């Protein structure tokens, strides 16, 4: 790992953990996973110095890497354990997938932008040496039916409603966490639990994510 991808100073780590706790992220496993995952590794050089700040930052393809407190809230709500097979829709930088990899048995992450998928794979596999993550370029709105059912599903883009096709791929007893909203200004982070009696919904917090789009982006040419 290069100097620009350091783990962060003790002060930087302490400040970030304090920010996470102040926003309700108290699960020790989640906090440990975030502390062990160098966010700078997923950022362009010009933003690496801000990696430990609790702010969203731009990445390639017009996307963003979420602020750590939102990553922490979503990860905590998902409740992945070492026995879980997780689907992430929207790999982005790969930062969230790397954190999930430290908590779950297996993570499948789908990204519609091939450059993002390729870069995330490079960081996760070759720099962080996490071997339980599979990243692929595909239409995330369709999920991964060949790998279903999943114990946990996380969607990192906002849908107008909870996608039925993804619910079908969630096992009974499983949990999905996703932002839902029809506009950029009105989105709610939801936790959905699939039970034998039906779906149980919990509203977590207002958020702002890019929209969940169908299809694979036109930048798929290598």
Question: Sign of the CA dihedral 4, 6, 9, 12?
Answer: positive
CB 214 within 8 A of CB 90: no
Catalytic residue (choose from 22, 66, 93, 202): 66
Element (DSSP H or E) covering residue 25: none
Place of tokens 């790397």: 98
Rounded CA separation 179/211 (Å):
9
Q: What are phi and psi of 131, to 5 degrees?
A: -100, 0
Known catalytic residue: 66? yes
Helix, strand, coil abundance in the chain, percent, nearest 5: 35, 25, 40
What are the catalytic residues? 66
């Amino acid at each position: 790992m290069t100097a620009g991808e350091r783990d962060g100073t003790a002060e930087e780590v302490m400040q970030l953990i304090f920010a996470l706790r102040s926003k309700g992220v108290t699960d020790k496993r989640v906090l440990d996973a975030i502390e062990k995952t160098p966010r700078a590794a997923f950022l362009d050089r010009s933003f690496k110095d801000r990696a430990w700040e609790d702010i969203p930052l731009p990445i390639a393809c017009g996307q963003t890497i979420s602020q750590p407190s939102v990553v922490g809230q979503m990860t905590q709500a998902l409740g992945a354990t070492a026995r879980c097979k997780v689907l992430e829709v929207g790999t982005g930088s790969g930062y969230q997938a790397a954190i999930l990899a430290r908590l779950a048995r297996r993570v499948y992450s789908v990204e519609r932008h091939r450059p993002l998928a390729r870069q995330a794979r490079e960081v996760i596999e070759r720099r962080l040496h996490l071997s339980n993550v599979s990243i692929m370029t595909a239409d995330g709105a369709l999920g991964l039916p060949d790998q279903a059912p999943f114990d946990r599903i996380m969607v990192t883009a906002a849908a107008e409603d909870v996608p039925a096709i993804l619910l079908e791929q969630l096992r009974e007893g499983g949990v999905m966490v996703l932002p839902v909203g029809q506009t950029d200004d009105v989105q709610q982070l939801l936790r959905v639990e699939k039970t034998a009696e039906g779906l149980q919904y919990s509203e977590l917090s207002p958020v702002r994510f890019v929209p969940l789009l169908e299809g694979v982006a036109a930048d798929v040419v290598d």
